Amino acid sequence: MLFRSPHIYEMWYSATHTSPELLNDTVYGLPEIYRTEIKPASLVANPGCYPTSVILAMAPLMKTDLIYKDSIIADSKSGISGAGRTTDINFQFAECNEGTRAYSIGVHRHIPEIEQELGILSGKDVKISFTPHLIPMTRGVLSTIYVNLREVPKTGYLIEIYNEFYKDEPFVRLMEEGKSADTHNVIISNYCDIGIKVDERTKRVVLTSAIDNLVKGASGQAVQNMNILCGFREDMGLDTPGIFP
């Protein structure tokens, strides 16, 4: 993660930023947005898993005037490994199995990271409603994002915008019309799958975004950044499809 303002970091993490002098030399490590800046960088900050899923799903729309950018609602669900290898009682099998719960509603530490990057993409400050959920599976993140539309295009039109935006990206896959993203299809891969659906009745677009929180949401993205920094083929060590079916 990278907070471009040490004040924002200190406010959300309740800790003093120990190296603010490094911020100007640090690049946010989301290759689909910052590849050019990553290549010559001396310090790259790897994004969080929730921000990766939400930012990649929203980026093409933030560059347009098709949406109300103050209406973004992101509902994200993560496998238990997103909490790390901890002995906290809340993440024990008997506590998590056969149950789903929301947590950190409105106060999750990934909120300012998402808002910061969406704001940069749109050219103005952005605030979102973000609610994460813990679901009883080992790994994976699925984000469902709802955004009000200024006008109501057909789903196919938005898919065309996304295909153009991500046409050269090796790890972003756009779902066909009528299909949504599924964590099954990205597990143990570095892919982010994005589904798009215009709900004409409510004048909203509904986006689904799936990643493996331990790969594209963590170590895989770090390897992708390393490959760019070192001049290696970007998919080196990462050209593995999901394991389903």
pLDDT tier at 245, thresholds 50, 70, 90: low
192 catalytically annotated: no
Show the 3-state SS of 175-229.
CCCCCCCCHHHCCCCCCEEEEEEEECCCCEEEEEEEECCCHHHHHHHHHHHHHHH
DSSP symbol at 79: -
**Residue 57, in any domain of the structure:** yes
Check if the beta carbon of residue 105 is closer than 8 Å to that of residue 129: no
**pLDDT, mean of residues 178-197:** 97
CA distance 170 to 119: 25
- For the beta carbon of residue 1, count every other beta carbon within 10 angstroms: 16
Give a yes or no: residue 39 inside a domain: no
Residue for token pair 């938005």? 158
Neighbours of 151 (CB within 10 A): 8
Global confidence as pTM: 0.93
In a domain, 155, yes or no: yes
- Does residue 63 sit within a domain? yes
| Catalytic residue of the set 49, 96, 192, 230 | 49
Query: Which residue range forms the structural domain that includes residue 211?
Result: 48-215
17 found inside a domain: no
Closest CA to 96 of 80, 85, 81: 80
Position 2 in a domain: no
Does residue 9 belong to any structural domain of this protein?
no
Report the share of the chain in percent with pLDDT over 70: 98
Q: Is residue 220 part of a domain?
A: no
Per-residue pLDDT for 189 more than 70? Answer: yes
* Alpha carbons 221 and 35: distance in angstroms, whole number: 12
Q: How many structural domains is the chain composed of?
A: 1
Q: Which residue has the tokens 């719960």?
A: 101
Measured distance CA(212)–CA(53) in Å, rounded: 9
CATH code assigned at 138: 3.30.360.10
Could you report the per-residue pLDDT of 68-96, keeping only the tens digit for each? 999 999 999 999 887 666 677 777 777 77
Distance CA 189, CA 187 (A): 5
Three-state DSSP at 62 gives helix
pLDDT at 93: 74
